[in-house]
Amino acid sequence: MRWVEDLFQGHTVIVGTTGSGKSNTLRFLARKAVEKGRRATILDWCGEHGLGFLTPFLPRIPFSDVRELLPTVLEETLRPSSGGISIGYAVTEGLEVAESWEELVVFLKTRALKRDMGAMAALRRLVPLYRRGVLVDGKLEEDLFSDTVLDLSNLPPFERRICLSMLLALIYSRAVSGVLGGDLCVFIDEAWQIHTGFEGMPVTLTMLMELRKYDVNVFAVYQEPLKQLLRYNMVVHTLGHQSRLEYFYSLFPAGVDKLRVGEAYVYTLNRRKWVKVKVPITKAEHVVNARVPRTTLLQEKKEGKVQYSKPSLEERIRRLEKEVEMLKKRLNLKC
Ligand SMILES: Nc1ncnc2c1ncn2[C@@H]1O[C@H](COP(=O)(O)OP(=O)(O)O)[C@@H](O)[C@H]1O
Ligand SMILES: [Mg+2]
């Protein structure tokens, strides 16, 4: 199947209406990637990609890897719905003093006490990820992106969007700093979730596209073909009655509205023409419900304990004590 080979050159956008076969195509291509001996990771929005050859884990995001990109990622993911700009502002201020997620949360709490709306909103979004063990302080011991499914399905919807954007930022920052390693395929189901609501090309996606320089192929699933995405390889499943829009008619081959589930038109930059294909079915082997993180942290290993998403009572008390200490310091209380 030459079209499959061609898709591994450059990035690929997979579009189609709900139920048209996008996720199946994503799994099929992920398996091909593994068969080709490439490293692969699926960012799994709904927990539907439990595959025998890739292991599902809860993602973990170390503070130091994403700190620089954090305000941008938060602003962008939350705009226009949840005061993205004021969240970004509060977080930017916090990053001037904080050296860890823990310290950032404490800083935001101090601000929130003074009714700073940006800080309150930022806390509302970050704390659930922090509590679940997705935001971690410390260094990851293993490679998060080789042959894994990173399962986001246990996170609440808004936090899930943030987590997805942060994972992209993590991949990007690791690539730029030379620790990601090349020959990686990143599969992102429901990638449109990181920028619903506006037409502009988000920074997160731009970063992702930059990844070609670092030998990373991205396969991203969208519900409809955004104009900015037409510069990549395309797999177009049926778009439902949307394909009757004049815009889509002129763009895609006639018959795109008559495609059945699993059929698609593929356009690759190598061949520069449309071919009709039937994507082989690739079933998920089990439902993902990952509550265990991929990697232990170095200090967890040293202490001989692996901390899963729920921190122990002692750990929570320790965090609270540290919080009280820092709050006192910041509020300048003499008590
Ligand atoms: N190539 C295919 N051949 C046969 N059935 C398919 C194919 N692709 C998907 N399906 C079936 O169609 C349904 C929806 O597929 P899915 O890939 O989840 O769609 P989407 O992600 O676009 O919503 C699933 O039940 C799946 O088994
Ligand atoms: Mg799907």
Ligand nearest to the CA of 193: 2
Q: Cis omega (within 30 of 0) on the bond before 311? A: no
Report pLDDT digits (tens) over 111-163.
999 999 999 999 998 999 998 889 998 888 778 888 888 989 888 888 898 99
Between these two residues, 80 and 178, which has the higher pLDDT value? 178
Mean pLDDT value across the chain: 84
Distance 123 CA to ligand 1 centre (A): 38
- 291, 309, 293: which is closest to 153 by C-alpha? 291
Axis-axis angle for helices 70-78, 117-131 (nearest 10): 100
Between these two residues, 84 and 301, which has the higher pLDDT value? 84
Q: What is the pLDDT of residue 86?
A: 84
| Paired tokens of 99 | 């050296």
Distance 156 CA to ligand 1 centre (A): 25
Q: How many CA atoms lie within 13 A of 186 on its CB side?
A: 30
Ligand 1 atom 23: the closest Cα is on which residue?
19
Ligand nearest to the CA of 14: 1
Q: What is the pLDDT of residue 309?
A: 46
- The model carries a pTM of 0.85
- Separation CA 328–CA 124 (nearest Å): 22
**Ligand 1 pocket test target in 4, 261, 287 with most atoms within 8 Å of CB:** 261
Res. 61 pLDDT band, cuts 50 70 90: very high
Of 50-64, 189-203, 218-232, which range is least confident?
Answer: 189-203
Distance 222 CA to ligand 2 centre (A): 9
| Paired tokens of 146 | 């080789």
Q: What is the pLDDT of residue 94?
A: 95
Burial of 197 (0-12, 13-18, 19+ CB in 10 A): exposed
Q: What is the pLDDT of residue 328?
A: 81
Ligand nearest to the CA of 17: 1
DSSP designation for 182: S
The answer to whether 138 touches 297, Cβ cutoff 8 Å, is: yes
Res. 250 pLDDT band, cuts 50 70 90: confident
The answer to whether 243 touches 251, Cβ cutoff 8 Å, is: no
Q: What is the pLDDT of residue 14?
A: 96
Residue extent(s) of CATH 3.40.50.300 domains in the chain: 2-60+140-278
Radius of gyration of the chain, Cα coordinates, nearest whole angstrom: 21
DSSP designation for 143: -
- 177, 150, 213: which is closest to 11 by C-alpha? 213
Ligand 1 atom 13: the closest Cα is on which residue?
19
Burial of 111 (0-12, 13-18, 19+ CB in 10 A): buried
Between these two residues, 331 and 35, which has the higher pLDDT value? 35
In the chain, the N- to C-terminal Cα span, in Å, equals 72
Between these two residues, 94 and 303, which has the higher pLDDT value? 94
Report pLDDT digits (tens) over 129-139.
998 889 998 88
The answer to whether 9 touches 268, Cβ cutoff 8 Å, is: yes
Q: What is the pLDDT of residue 304?
A: 53
The domain 2-60+140-278 having CATH identifier 3.40.50.300: the answer here is: yes
DSSP designation for 280: P
Res. 219 pLDDT band, cuts 50 70 90: very high
| Paired tokens of 195 | 């920028």
Three-point CA angle 44, 235, 158, nearest 5°: 30
The answer to whether 294 touches 144, Cβ cutoff 8 Å, is: yes
Three-point CA angle 5, 8, 9, nearest 5°: 105
Please give all residues whose beta carbon lies within 6 A of any atom in ligand 1, as ranges.
Answer: 16, 18-24, 261-262, 279, 281
Distance 78 CA to ligand 1 centre (A): 30
Q: What is the pLDDT of residue 294?
A: 46
| Paired tokens of 258 | 């008559």
Q: 3-state DSSP call for residue 62?
A: strand
Distance 167 CA to ligand 2 centre (A): 19
At residue 62, what are phi and psi to the nearest 5 degrees? -75, 140
Between these two residues, 307 and 188, which has the higher pLDDT value? 188
Res. 81 pLDDT band, cuts 50 70 90: low
Q: What is the pLDDT of residue 167?
A: 93
Atom of ligand 1 nearest to the CA of 17: 22
Q: 3-state DSSP call for residue 297?
A: strand
Percentages helix, strand, coil for the chain (3-state, rounded to 5) are: 45, 15, 40
Distance 23 CA to ligand 1 centre (A): 7
